[in-house]
Chain A
Amino acid sequence: MSVPFLVFFACAFLSVLGAVLLLVSWEPIHSALSLILVMMSLAVLYLLLGAEFIAAVQIIVYAGAIMVLFVFVIMLLNAGNEERTDWSKIAKVVGLPMAFFLLLLIARGLSRSVIGATIANGVGARSNAGVSTRDLSTALFRQYLFPFEATSILILIALLGAWILARKDD
């Protein structure tokens, strides 16, 4: 067992643990903290994959900005314990077997598709071109300049929309 494998399995375990904790915790703030755990371990995985810039953006934007926004809203709304509601009878009797059946169908379809074959055989990781931050920025500002500028308009619209939705009615 070499070091990259150990790092990978540690981070994979931490991220799955965080995702499970997000699901089982009843307090929203605990869910937010476990989601930060998932994002941190994914950032380490990005480093392992050689994507340094994406790892930095993951920590700064996701774990920093977006999760702080979530935590602020949880505090603002005083979001406490989640209400427990019972499932309806039809959901218990019909829903669970149907969901299981649907999952089986999807798994069967995937295992026969190109993606399934890729997962089964494994793509040979031949990375001849070094995927560096310099290449990323060159691609971003040359080939993808128009989408990049379009995202600034998207951010502006989101900003205005959030302001209009959350302001006081008067």
Chain B
Amino acid sequence: MDPGEERRLSIIPISYYLVLSAILFGLGAVGVVFKRNIITILMSIELMLNAVNLAFVAFARAHGQIDGLVFVFFVIVVAAAEAAVGLAIVIMITKNRESLNIERINLLKF
């Protein structure tokens, strides 16, 4: 990597990426708490995973380590598996309850 490109890549401080990652994670957490549609809640979880991935890549870049990128790879694989199983559960719940609203899924609620 030539020095010019080196400078181009490292010119943005890592803290910018971390703050962006924190904002996205917070928005995802707000979505999990406030949204009523079960599919949107799953999408908010994906948003949180994406935010964590951004922090991993930023730290991998800052430390010049490959392990962060490998971890991002595994996070993406686990997210794919989680989406498949989660959406299958959503389909089953909707068949039984006729509703996507989590307020209606309250058998275990006190």
Contact = CB atoms under 8 A, between A and B. Distances in A.
Contacts of B67: 139
A65 interface: yes
Nearest to B44: A22
B97 to A, nearest CB: 11
B105 interface: no
The B interface is mostly helix, strand or loop, or mixed, namely: helix
Nearest to A138: B66
Contacts of B46: 35, 62, 66
Interface residues of A, number: 76
Interface residues of B, number: 72
Contacts of B79: 62, 66
A9 to B, nearest CB: 9
A55 B95 CA distance: 37
Interface of B: 1, 6, 8-20, 23-24, 27-28, 30-31, 34-37, 39-40, 42-44, 46-47, 50, 53-54, 57-67, 69-70, 72-74, 76-85, 87-92, 94, 99-101, 103
